[in-house]
Amino acid sequence: MDSPNFVKKGQIFMCRFEDCWDKSNSCVHINNLITANIKPEIGKIRPVVIIHSHKRHRIALVVPFTTQNPQKENYYTAFIPKGIMPGILARKDCWALCDMIKAVSLDRLQLPFCGKKNLRESFKTINLNEHKFTEICNVIKNIF
């Protein structure tokens, strides 16, 4: 699956947050160590929502999602009820981790898997509903 050429605010993608997601020759080695994320940095492949993008530089600001329920009420997450996210995530409640906003290359983004149609895998662009997108933006404004 190729990365998108351009993304828009409110679109949901899957993002490869790992520094080195190809364990072959394309890894970055520093002093014989493969680079990796350091806690509490976000890692693995996660769904994200596009907050802002810059077409010319192929970069986007994203907010990642998690399905792990925060231990307590907090001011830096936004609740996304089940049914809004794509694919298997539609069966789960999600939370936008608004304090983990990150600038990423468009090369890290892929369309989300949305199931199978006629024995073919289906990937498509999904937009977060406007109300939830506004809620995420307001949480970000309150944090920063």
What residues does each domain of the chain span?
11-16+46-143
72 against 87, higher pLDDT: 72
Confidence grade of residue 20 (pLDDT, cut at 50, 70, 90): low
4 against 78, higher pLDDT: 78
What's the alpha-carbon Rg for the chain, to the nearest Å?
16
Query: What's the pLDDT at 115?
Result: 67
Report pLDDT digits (tens) over 30-85.
Answer: 544 455 566 677 778 889 999 999 878 889 999 999 989 887 778 899 999 988 77
Mean pLDDT of 107-130: 77
Judge: domain 11-16+46-143, CATH 2.30.30.110: yes
